[in-house]
Structure formats: C-alpha cells, structure tokens
Amino acid sequence: MAELKSASPSSTPPATHAEHMDISGRDYRATSVAGLPALEEHGVGIDHKIPQDDAIQAQPDLAWSRIRHYLREPLAEFFGTFILIMFGDGVVAQVVLSGGANGEYQSITWGWGLGVMLGVYTAGISGAHLNPAVTFANCVFRKFPWRKFFPYMIAQILGAMVASAVVYANYKSAIDVFEGGRSFRTVPGYSETATAGIFCTYPAPFMTKTGQFFSEFIASAMLMFLIYALKDDGNIGAGPLTPLGLFFIIFGIGACFGWETGYAINLARDFGPRLVSYMLGYGHEVWSAGNYYFWVPMVAPFFGCTFGGWLYDMFLWTGESPINTPGAGLYRLAQPKRSVWSNTYQERRGQITHA
Amino acid sequence: MAELKSASPSSTPPATHAEHMDISGRDYRATSVAGLPALEEHGVGIDHKIPQDDAIQAQPDLAWSRIRHYLREPLAEFFGTFILIMFGDGVVAQVVLSGGANGEYQSITWGWGLGVMLGVYTAGISGAHLNPAVTFANCVFRKFPWRKFFPYMIAQILGAMVASAVVYANYKSAIDVFEGGRSFRTVPGYSETATAGIFCTYPAPFMTKTGQFFSEFIASAMLMFLIYALKDDGNIGAGPLTPLGLFFIIFGIGACFGWETGYAINLARDFGPRLVSYMLGYGHEVWSAGNYYFWVPMVAPFFGCTFGGWLYDMFLWTGESPINTPGAGLYRLAQPKRSVWSNTYQERRGQITHA
Amino acid sequence: MAELKSASPSSTPPATHAEHMDISGRDYRATSVAGLPALEEHGVGIDHKIPQDDAIQAQPDLAWSRIRHYLREPLAEFFGTFILIMFGDGVVAQVVLSGGANGEYQSITWGWGLGVMLGVYTAGISGAHLNPAVTFANCVFRKFPWRKFFPYMIAQILGAMVASAVVYANYKSAIDVFEGGRSFRTVPGYSETATAGIFCTYPAPFMTKTGQFFSEFIASAMLMFLIYALKDDGNIGAGPLTPLGLFFIIFGIGACFGWETGYAINLARDFGPRLVSYMLGYGHEVWSAGNYYFWVPMVAPFFGCTFGGWLYDMFLWTGESPINTPGAGLYRLAQPKRSVWSNTYQERRGQITHA
Amino acid sequence: MAELKSASPSSTPPATHAEHMDISGRDYRATSVAGLPALEEHGVGIDHKIPQDDAIQAQPDLAWSRIRHYLREPLAEFFGTFILIMFGDGVVAQVVLSGGANGEYQSITWGWGLGVMLGVYTAGISGAHLNPAVTFANCVFRKFPWRKFFPYMIAQILGAMVASAVVYANYKSAIDVFEGGRSFRTVPGYSETATAGIFCTYPAPFMTKTGQFFSEFIASAMLMFLIYALKDDGNIGAGPLTPLGLFFIIFGIGACFGWETGYAINLARDFGPRLVSYMLGYGHEVWSAGNYYFWVPMVAPFFGCTFGGWLYDMFLWTGESPINTPGAGLYRLAQPKRSVWSNTYQERRGQITHA
C-alpha cells in the first residue's frame, strides 16, 4: 500500500494540527491545506457529508489516527469495493454452488445491486467510486484530482481481491463438492461444473470480440450517465436516495444487459478477483477463456464511462464541466498546459492568495 | 430535430442574457420571458428543482450553450425515453433470448419499472413525461403549454427509436442464434422463435379488439390517476420519492395488467420501436399482427390518460384544474376562445402588466 | 351513497364559506366547524398534509365543489380501496389465468403490497384506512370519530366492488378461455379451473375453522400493530416513508402468513369482491366454500386489528390512548357516558367555548 | 421477566415525577436521572427520536405507566424480536410447508429482510438491536451500558421464543399434513419431511465445524460493519432510511451467505426458537443435528459482530470509540479500572456535579 501514501505531504507539523482542532467541520476544507490533504467531495452521494476530522484530531498524537488520516480515502475505496465483491461474488457462489436451490438469476441482480448500494454507504468518505472507470470519468468531467486516480484504482483492486479470497474461503467446501474434488478448479466453457464464474465474468459463447466490447461499453455508459443524472441537483437529483438509486441502476444493468458478458463494467471488480482465481489454481484458462476476453472488462469500462459522462454533460448538465467551455471542451485539446488540464491547479492558487 | 426548435423565439438579444445572469434561480421563470422560453415546471417529480440556467449563461457566447438552451426540454424527454426503452426493451431481449435462463416474467416488470424510474431522474428538467399521453393530459388538466405537445412527442418517439436500435445492435448475435440465422426476423404469432416482441408489444392471441383497447385504456387510466395522486401535495404526495413511486406504479401495471396486451400505455414506447423493428426487417407483420393491433397502443393511452386525469381531478384534486371551474369544466366547451383554452394566455397578460 | 352524507350538517350558509376563505390551511380545522365537517387527520401517513380546501372554496358557488367537500373522505376511501383491489385482484387474475407464465406466487405479494402502497397515496385525504377493521381500531385507540365508521366502511366496500368488476371486465376473455367457456364460472375446491379465487380468498383445504380464524386474526393483529409502529413518532416513525413501509408490511404478511387463508385481513377487500363474484354468476359456492369460510375474513380482522392496536398501545405507545388512562382503560367500561366514550365530545365543547 | 427490572432503582419519589413533567422532551436525558433510568440512544436508527415520556408522565399515578417506564427498553426489544421472528419463521414455514407453491428461496430472503426492517421500526425506543451480539458490540464500541446487556438479551430471546410458538400454532395443521401426522416432528437430515428448519437453522450437510463457524462469523461481521456504516453520519449515513438499509443488508446476507448455515447470525433468533422446537417435541436432534451445530450460531455472532465493529472503527470511523484511544484501545487492556471500562461511569460523575 506504499503507493497510496504518495498523494500526501511527507511531513506535517503538530502545530498545524492544533490549529486545525479549533476549526469546525464546515470550514474544514479550506483549512486542511495547512498540513493535511483535502478530502474533496466528489462522486456518488456525499452531498450532505459532515466531516468528522475534528474527532480524529482530538487525539493528534495517536500514530494510527495520523496514518489513517492520509489513507482515509483509499481505505474507504478499499472497504467499499470489498463490500461490493463480498455480496456480488457471494451471491454468484450461492446460486451456482447450490444448483439454483438457494437462488436464481434474479438473486444475482439483487446481490450486485445491493452490494453496490451498501458499498456506497461504506465508502461515502471517498466519493464511493468503487470503480476505476468512474474515478477516471470524475477526473475528466468533475475536476476530481488526477493524482488520486492511481491510489483509488489500487485500493479498489485490492479490496476486490481480498473480498474474492474471503468468498473462496467461505465456499471452499461447497466448491470441492460441486467440482467433484479438491484438485478440480475449472473455468466456464471448459467444464460442466466450472466455478471460476463465481469470481469474475466470462462471456456467453456466441459473442464476438466486437460484441463483447460493445456490450461492456454500453452498460458502462449507462452506468456513468445515470450516476451523473442522480447526482445532478439541477435535475431532480436523488439526494439521500442516491445509494438506493444505484441499487436500481445496477439491478437494471444486470437484468437488461447482464447476460452477454456478465456486466463487469469495472476493472477492479473483474481483474482483481480474476487474478485471485488464477492464484487459487483455476489455471491459465481464466485469461484465455472467451478468446482472451479478460482485457475487455478492463478496457471497455473506461471508454464506456467516459462516453456516458460526456453524453450527460453534452446534452443535459449545465454545471461546471469541460464540455461547457468554448468548443465544447475541444479547444482544450490544443492547450496542453497545466493551468488548463489540472483539476487542482486553480484551487491551490486561490488558497495561496488567501493565506 | 428541426421541429423541436419551432417552439422558441427566433432571435434572442445578448443584452437580455446579461440581465438574466444577475437573477437568482428562484426568480428565473418570471424573467426568462425577456428572451428565452420559460421552462415550466409540470409533470412528474420536479417540485424541488433548482434551475441551473445561470450555469449555462455563464458562457452566453458559446454557441452550443445557446442552442442547447432552446432544446433543453426536448433533449431531456429524448434521453429520459431513451433510458426507459434501453432498460425496457433490454430486459425483454435478455429474458426472451436467454430462454428464461437469465430472467423471467418478473424481471420484465422490474426492468420497465426501473426504466421509468431512472428515465424520470434523467428527464426531470422537462417534467419527465416520457409519454405523449401524459403530456396530453398535462396540457388538458395542468396548464402545460399546448405548443410544447408536438416537440415533446417527437422527442419521446425519437428517444425510443434510438434506444431500440441500440438494444438491437447489442443483442444482434443473440437474435441471430435465437431466430436460427441472420436472415430470420419474425413476429410473435408467426413463429416459435419470434423476437419482434423485444421491441414493441403484441397482444395475447385470445384478445378481441375491444378487449385490447379496454386493457390499454384501463392501464393508462391507472397510470395517470396515480401520477396525479403522487404529485398532489394536498394529499400525502410522494415528494422526492416520486421516481420510486413510479417504479411501483409501472411494476404494478406490469404485474397486474401486463399479460393481455403487454402494457404499452405509451405511443412513444410502442410506435417508435415498432417502426425501428420494421426498418430492421421484421416485415409487414409488425403492423398486421394481432389483427392490426399496432394502432391500439397509439390511441388508447390518450383516452386512458385523459380519463385517469379526469377521474383524479373530478373526485380528489382540489387545486387548479378545468374540472374545478363552473360546470365541472363543461362550460368551457361552449367557449372556443383563446383566453379560455390557452394554458399560457393569462400568464403572458400578467407579465406584460408587470413589465 | 345517501348514507355517506348523513355525517354532514344539512344546511351550510354561504356567508360562513366566505369567512372560511380568509383562513390559512393551518387554522382550517378549528374553523371548519362553522359550517363544514372537519377532516380529522388520523390513520396512515398524513402527518405532513396541507389542507387544500381553500382551493375548493375559491369557487364556493360551484355545486360540485360543495357536494364534493362533504364527500371528500368517503371519496378518498372509495378510490384508495379501488386502487388496492385493482392491483390486488388484477395480479391474482394475471397469475392464475396465464397459468403462471406471467407471474408467480411472489408476484401476488408484490401486487397486494404495492396496491396498498398506491392506495394509501390515493387516500391520504381520509387517513387511508382502506379497511373497516383499521377504521374501527382507529375509533377505539386514536379518537377517530365513531360517526365516520359506517360511511368509511361503505365507501371501502363500494370501492372494492367496483374495482373487482373492472378486473372482471378486463379479464373476461381470459376467464372464458381458462374456465373452458362462457358459461363456466367455478370456485376453488369445486373445479380444477376455478377462477373465483381472483376476486376473494378461499382457505387451504386442510384448515379447520379455528385455524382459519386464528390465521386471519394473527395477520390482522400484525397489520395494526405495525401500522401503529410506523405512525409512532415517539418511536423511529416512518414519516414520509409510511406508504413504502406498508408495502413491506403487506408483502411480508403475504409471504409469511398468506398461504393458509389468502390474507384477506379486510372485510372490504374480501366481502365486496365476493359479492360481485356472486352477482357475476359464480354461484352459491362463493359463500359455502371452505365450510362457509366467507364470514371469517369479515369478522376476524376486527378482532385482530383491535388486538394488534391494544398490544401496541399497552406495551409501546406512550401517546394519548384509552390504554393510557386509569386501569389501562378498563375503568371506562364502567362509565357508559358520552363524555367518556365519544371521540368528538370534548372537542365540540372546546369549540363552542371559543365561539 | 424479574431480571429485567434489576436495572432500575427500587424507589422513585413522586415529587421527582412532578418536576420531570415540566421538562421538554429535548432535555429529557439530563433530568431523567432524578428518578428514572435514562433511555440512552444507541444502536440502529433512532437519531431523530423525540422522547415521548412526558406523555407517560401525564399520568404519573398510573401503576402501569410507571411499571412500563422501567420496562420500556426490554419491552421494545421483546416486540422487535417478536416481529422479526414472526416474519422470519413465518416465511420459512410457508415456503417449506407449501412445497414451494407459495414461495421460494427468494421469499425467505424477503421475509427475513423485512422482518428485521419492521422489527427495527417497532423497537426504535431501545435502539433496535434485536440481537445480543449487536448489543454486545454496542457495549464494546459505542458506550452502550454493560448493565443493560443481559436484560436486552433475555428480552430478545423471549421475544423470539413467543414468536416461534405463535408461528407453530398458526401452522400446526399444515405441519401435521406435511410431516404425515400429529405425532411426527422431525429434524432436517433425519427425515425427508422435516419441519424443524422452520424454527432455527441447520447447516448444509457438507459443512465442517470450522466452515460452519467461519460462515456465521463472516456474515455477522458484515452485519455489524454495515450497521455502523449506515449509522455513521460522518460517512453518508442512511438517516431515516436506516430500516430500509437493514432490509437490504439482511436480504444480501441471505442471498449471498445464507445457504451454508442459514444465516442465523443471532443467538436470540436461533437459540430461542430452537428451545421452543425442543419443547414442542422435535426431539434431541434439534441439538445434535449437524454434529451439535446448535452452539455455533450462539457463539460465532459475538465474535463476528465484535470483529465487524472493530473493522469499521479501526479503518473508517472517526467518532468516539475505544479504538480511537492510545494504542488503538489496547492500552485499556492493561487498565482494569472501572473509570476506563465502564460506559456509564463518567456520565454519572457529570450528573452528580450538575446536581
């Protein structure tokens, strides 16, 4: 997790902390620059957040409180994605391994839907992206700091990996029974009793590579477009119902676009557990299945989410966005300057001026 | 989309824009007359809307911002209906093409229910009608401007058409497999492996024409009656839960009145995708099936929604309505004057007086 | 509907109306005595109601506005129960007649749950009882005026009757097909293709009379206990989520206590449609089936709801209730005086004093 | 229920009551010390509670009001757990006894989910723990008074016992039919027509003891972690949607981790009904089944909930918690003093000082 700390300044004088303690939660963002990185509020569902950092700083001498402060956002993404995959991979395990007796296809749409919903409640601190492609689109369209992109992505992947390992541990006996023995671990398309589909997605056999990509692209675009709709207070806006709205979005994508490729729509959700299943002995087929399908749910969501975000900003969003700049944001492409492209550049200027 | 612009004045002086920028969102409607068409707040779920036009006008020189301003409402209806049909046609495709393995009848009620819910979140800007019959009833009972009826209807139909084409593209391989080949595209009642039912509705074989009409009429009346109930703040009123309430309304209509005719209850939802399926080669049967059923879901919803709206206004609604005028609105029929029938006439008078 | 008007004074001077117009919605109840019966706020989900009577009274000369004012509460109960039965009987019709192809048992729990939820949104004006046993319990425990009991019950029964007739009309062709012809109309237990179960409940064959009564009693007690829990602001209280909470209550009763007797738990829901099915030609068996079961869902809910309300008031409720009087309300039984038993007596005293 | 009263002082002078009556609900907690035990606000979903004690004290002479005041919290836990088990055991009974005709596995996840949700609405007064392991974790992490632990646990167990007896009474005829006679009462694994699974959980046959424990441990940890997430207002926080959030948590645990051990995750839910089923004649097998499985759902939830609570506090919670003290709470272990470990010690000091 060393990389996760790279986003933070390396030394923070205790004196600054003392100052920080006097400041109410509301003014927190402006002052946290003094020594602590700001926790920007972006992404899903945290409009009404009341920062609780004063509680942390009540014990500024505690080593763990200080360490945790810098890891606060990656930790939130880690646990949010962990919860998502616990429920998501868990429900597939239960449905597959019980042979449909303790669940059916609709249970899977429930499990992933509520996994996202409860993951969002868990990770509100960090904006609850839970998906590198959502983080990416927020960097492009909603001024989410680019320097946070990799820490977020790594935290999301690690959360997904740990969760899929826990699901494996929990269902190990049942997998042994289902596969016919301890030494069998097989991948869909290579066996009638394959269980690798518990962990990551495998496409339906009739899909072409183009079809696979298109399906993931469309589902990711829907995801991002609808997240921006729920979060748009100039529209109806879901407000505190946003996590519930996400339940319906994910349920809907699963019920309507989930058959062909298993609606991964998320690099962390698919690559993390896939890597774990490879480490657990499911063999090289986890990569080669579906004509080397594995890269599609890694790449397509970035294109899909960016397209979905662009679609919303281009046609419906009227708030701040690169699309609402001259040339619908295209003039930017000719200006490779930090002042134009950085999401944090102007903020810093402003803060220095105030200081 | 040329027609969509016809509702807007042809020239808007920039000076007016500058004035407009000073005005807070709350006073927006009174002043927007100066050069820009007002975005009336009617229909589903936009009680707590905060207009975001200042954000647009922050860049009044941007061509796209200005164009988009005039197309704002049709664009919202377009995308709202697009989302509705993406989920609605998508779920039917998944259930039909997977042979029930990845969904069942109840999944279809989920898909349409959440499609409407998420479409409403998308189209709050325009009142989220998503249905020409709802727009019509709002014109009759809720002073929605008649001049917006056709732009709305066209935007709704186009949104439905584009969405059904995307669903087709996404499920093309699966349709080929299901129909038995690329050249087969068949309609329910003419083939065991028909897939035309993915796009639009076909009635159960035992239905008479009267039964078809009655079923669509009843379901549409329930829809409009309940929308007005959810929106009636003199009653309980669903407030920010309105989109969720619509999920339950559509789920309920599908579960309780969905079998006989497929609960189209919406010209845009049925005619748009039907036309696309015809263009895609499903043949003349898309029109002739069910004894030329196709016109029923075009016509019956207008009668049904008007009846449902009348029922609510006649017996429960106490707010402003033609029903709450002398003769329960019937005297109006003898007065074919603009001052009586126009929904916007009096407002304009008032504004001129104020100016 | 003549009885429904009996609760209103027979003459209302126009002058009083004029006064009434000046009064804001908040003071409405105190003043409405002057000529119009008060619309008490009791029962389910109307805590945040804003009376809209000023809108009616804006046209005090309109005959219909005045008539409707007196019928406002019965009309709301009529339409609320109408909506409930439309969805409830509708979903049973669809599941039974389609042979399970377009729905399953769980669809039925959905249909009744959302039927109640949407019926509550419709009937908020009158407290949304939708059930004579709920009205009765509110008279006993929540000072709902006794004189409104019969108007409410009659409105509820009529709403249920009309709705079941509409469901019959909608599904007539399908019933003909299912029963095997126009002249067949059969009752569960007497035929393999019985359709009378669409309209009202028939118990499982192994049930004794005691078991039937106990099952309805328990389910009704749960209903009332939980309504009072949702409505208790000294507890968590469901507030604007009350209609959604009712969806879960009814869904739960259907999923957990719905098999043995069909969870009628409501005289209006069961007797009204049973009468209609008798009138439609289902024969004397609608009464004799299940060893003359028909009276159980008429009687048991009154006992059950009263017990459930008593349970909540006895052990959890701390607000005003006869239970929270000396002897836990038992001293009252020795005092058959109007001043003790009438729910409206004291209020009138107060009002006369003020006048 | 004698133990339940042990938490209360033995004498309360009426004079103090009179004082108490003058005090508004908001100041209630500080003053209730004068004679009545405080009702701390901890646990699930009671952030916006308005104490209603003034209503009780309006009749301070009533014996029952005074008795009830002391039993208020245990009564709430009793009825909350009663509601939970009524729906939970009820839905299993209906699904099992109807042979899947009136419900399926998904119905069971619904039943338990909404049972918890409605139980929470019932028991908001006491914090709606409904689970001794949740009470325990609240004692450890959220300063819930240790002296209330046993009264809560006993009330929860009694509530579960009574509810399972009512479910038995309701389904007695159906159990007779299903088991093949009045004298047969069998346990899963010992008979094809076993019905003991209605009341408490029995593990899947392939599970090892370690697997059983791990499965219950994981599910309990998820439960507690997510409850703390929903209740964390420094995160998104579910606020008034908390009961609905719990529906999704329990539904999710049932759909994703419910197959192997039946997701008891609650001593009261499992041990109480198990004891009742033993008393009803299901034989010694209720204890010996699954290789004496019965102690697992008694013990594992305490470890699981404590771990889940620790996980949340360690990594995400920034409010008051033993984890946010020096050494992440480990220094405490070396200080076995009352001032360190008691959750109520400091409060009392403060109150004495104020007096």
Task: Write the pLDDT tens digit of every residue in D319-354.
Answer: 888 887 776 677 777 777 777 777 776 555 444 444
D243 to chain C: which residues are within 8 Å by CB? 236, 238, 245
Closest residue by Cα to residue C282 from C154, C206, C189: C189
CA atoms of C252 and D112, how far apart (whole Å): 9
| Segment among B13-27, C243-257, D53-67, D270-284 with least mean pLDDT | B13-27
Cβ distance B256 to C68 less than 8 Å, yes or no, reads no
Average pLDDT of C73-90? 97
C291-321 pLDDT, tens per residue? 999 999 999 999 999 999 999 999 999 888 8
Most confident residue range from C332-341, D100-109, D111-120: D111-120
* Chains in contact with B via at least 3 Cβ–Cβ pairs below 8 Å: A, C
Mean pLDDT of all residues in C18-41: 32
Instruction: Please state the rounded mean pLDDT for residues C327-332.
Output: 71
Cβ–Cβ < 8 Å for D216, D261: yes
CB D121 within 8 A of CB C235: yes
Average pLDDT, chain B: 82
B333 inside 8 A of chain C by CB: no
* Model pLDDT, residue B177: 94
Burial class (CB within 10 angstroms; exposed 0-12, middle 13-18, buried 19+) of A333: exposed
Confidence (pLDDT) at B59: 56
| Mean pLDDT, range A140-163, rounded to an integer | 96
In the structure, what pLDDT confidence band is assigned to residue B62 with cuts at 50, 70 and 90? Answer: confident
Q: DSSP readout, B298-310?
A: HHHHHHHHHHHHH
Could you give the C-alpha distances from A85 to A354, C277, D155, D296, in angstroms and in order? 43, 51, 36, 26
Residue A3 contacts D, CB cutoff 8 Å: no
- Give the confidence band of B34 by pLDDT, cuts at 50, 70, 90: very low
pLDDT(A295) > 50: yes
CB contact under 8 A, B319 and C52: yes
Residue D32 CB contacts under 8 Å (≥ 6 apart), including other chains? D20, D38, D39, D53
Task: Provide the pLDDT for residue C205.
Answer: 92
Nearest CA in chain C to B221: C83
Cα angle: C268, vertex C269, C274; to 5 degrees:
90
CA dihedral C152, C153, C155, C160 (to 10 degrees): 140
* B108 closest CA partner among B120, B121, B96: B96
CB C245 within 8 A of CB D121: yes
Residues 6 or more apart in contact with residue A265 via CB below 8 angstroms:
A131, A133, A216, A219, A220, A223, A253, A297, A301, A304
Subunits with 3+ Cβ pairs within 8 Å of C are: B, D
Lookup: tokens for C340:
């003790």
Residue of D nearest to A57 (CA): D318
Eight-class DSSP state of B282: I
Residue of chain B whose Cα is closest to the Cα of A262? B102
Please report the pLDDT score of residue A319 as a whole number: 84
CA-closest candidate to residue A71, choices A87, A90, A56 = A56
User: In angstroms, rounded to a whole number, what is the distance separating the alpha carbons of residues D313 and D310?
Assistant: 5
Above 90 in pLDDT, residue B352? no
Mean pLDDT of B129-153: 96
Per-residue pLDDT tens for A165-204?
A: 999 999 999 999 999 988 899 999 999 999 999 999 999 9
pLDDT at res. B142 = 93
**In this complex, is the C-beta atom of C221 within 8 Å of any C-beta atom belonging to chain B?**
no
Percent of the residues in chain A that have a pLDDT greater than 90, as a whole number = 67
The residue that leads in pLDDT, A125 or C58, is: A125
pLDDT of residue C345: 64
Stretch D135-158: mean pLDDT: 96
Lowest mean pLDDT among B207-216, C2-11, C178-187: C2-11
Number of H helices, E strands in chain A: 16, 0
The SS3 call for residue C342 is: coil
Q: Is the pLDDT of residue D12 over 90?
A: no
pLDDT in tens, C92-130: 999 999 998 999 999 999 999 999 999 999 999 999 999
Please tell me the least confidently modeled range out of A110-114, A164-168, B58-62, C305-309. B58-62
CB of A68 within 8 Å of a chain D CB? The answer is yes
Q: Cα torsion for D250, D252, D256, D262, to the nearest 10°?
A: 20
Q: Which residue has the tokens 């000082």?
A: D353
pLDDT 10s digits, A298-347: 999 999 999 999 999 999 998 888 887 776 677 777 777 777 777 776 55
Cβ contacts (< 8 Å) between B50 and chain A: which residues?
233-234
What average pLDDT score do residues C230-257 get? 96
| Sequence-ordered alpha helix ranges (H) in B234-295 | 242-257, 267-277, 285-292
Give yes or no for D260 touching A (CB within 8 A). yes
Specify the higher pLDDT residue, C291 or A7.
C291
Model ipTM value: 0.83
**Which pLDDT tens digit goes with each residue over A213-258?**
999 999 999 999 999 999 999 899 999 999 999 999 999 999 999 9
Buried b / exposed e over A226-261, threshold 16 CB at 10 Å, is: bbbbbbbebbbbbebbbbbbbbbbbbbbbbbbbbbb
In angstroms, the separation between the Cα of residue A67 and the nearest Cα of chain D is: 10
Q: Does A38 touch chain B (CB under 8 A)?
A: no
pLDDT at D346: 55
Alpha-carbon torsion (A316, A320, A326, A332), positive or negative: negative
CA distance linking residue B71 with residue A308, whole number of Å = 20
In C151-180, the residues whose Cβ lies within 8 Å of chain B are 166, 169-174, 176-177
Q: Which of residues 276-315 of B touch A (CB under 8 A)?
A: none
Answer whether A324 sits within 8 Å of B65, measured CB to CB.
Answer: yes
pLDDT at residue A60, as a whole number = 58
> How far, in Å, CA of C139 to CA of C42, rounded?
10
What does the pLDDT average to over A149-163?
Answer: 98
**Pairs from C335-342 (Cβ < 8 Å, separation ≥ 24):** C342/C146
Chain B hits for C118, Cβ within 8 Å: 226, 229, 245, 248-249, 252
Q: Which of C209, C265, C316 to mutate to test the interface with D (most CBs of D within 10 A)?
A: C316
Interface residue B320 vs chain C (CB under 8 A): yes
Task: Identify the pLDDT of residue A61.
Answer: 66
Best mutation target, D121, D125, D158, D230, to test chain C (most C CBs within 10 A): D121
pLDDT at C26 over 50: no
pLDDT digits (tens, 9 = 90+) for A31-55: 232 333 333 443 343 333 334 444 4
- C–D CB contacts, 8 A cutoff, strictly below: 151
Arithmetic mean of pLDDT, C26-52: 35
Confidence of residue B345 (pLDDT cuts 50, 70, 90): low
What mean pLDDT is predicted for residues C168-176? 96
Structure tokens at A147: 């320097």
Residue of C nearest to D84 (CA): C252
What percentage of chain B reaches a pLDDT higher than 70?
79
Higher pLDDT, B202 or D321: B202
Question: What does pTM read for this prediction?
Answer: 0.86
Chain C nearest CA to D103, separation (Å): 6
Those residues whose C-beta lies under 8 Å from the C-beta of residue C65, and which sit 6 or more positions away, are B324, C56, C57, C59
Q: Give the pLDDT of residue C322.
A: 86
What CA–CA distance (Å, rounded) separates D276 from B60?
Answer: 74
DSSP string, A203-255: --TT--HHHHHHHHHHHHHHHHHHHHHHT-TTS---GGGHHHHHHHHHHHHHH
Q: How far apart are CA D280 and CA D90, in angstroms?
A: 17
Handedness of CA C343, C346, C348, C351 (dihedral sign): negative
Find the mean pLDDT for residues B139-162: 96
For chain A, the average pLDDT equals 82
pLDDT of residue D13: 35
Give CA–CA dist C306/B284, Å, rounded.
Answer: 62
Residue in chain A closest to B241 (alpha carbons) equals: A241
Contacts of residue D73, Cβ cutoff 8 Å, sequence gap at least 6: D39, D125, D126, D127, D148, D151, D152, D155
**Do the Cβ atoms of C236 and D124 come closer than 8 Å?**
yes
- In degrees and rounded to multiples of 5, residue C43 shows phi and psi of 80, -150
Determine the Cα angle at C87 with ends B291 and C178, to 5°: 50
Torsion of Cα atoms, A318 then A320 then A323 then A327, to 10°: 100
pLDDT of residue D60: 58
pLDDT at position B318 = 85
Residue C252: partners with Cβ closer than 8 Å, 6 or more residues away: D87, D91, D110, D111, D114, D115, D118
Q: What mean pLDDT is predicted for residues C181-201? A: 93
Q: Is the pLDDT of residue D1 over 70?
A: no
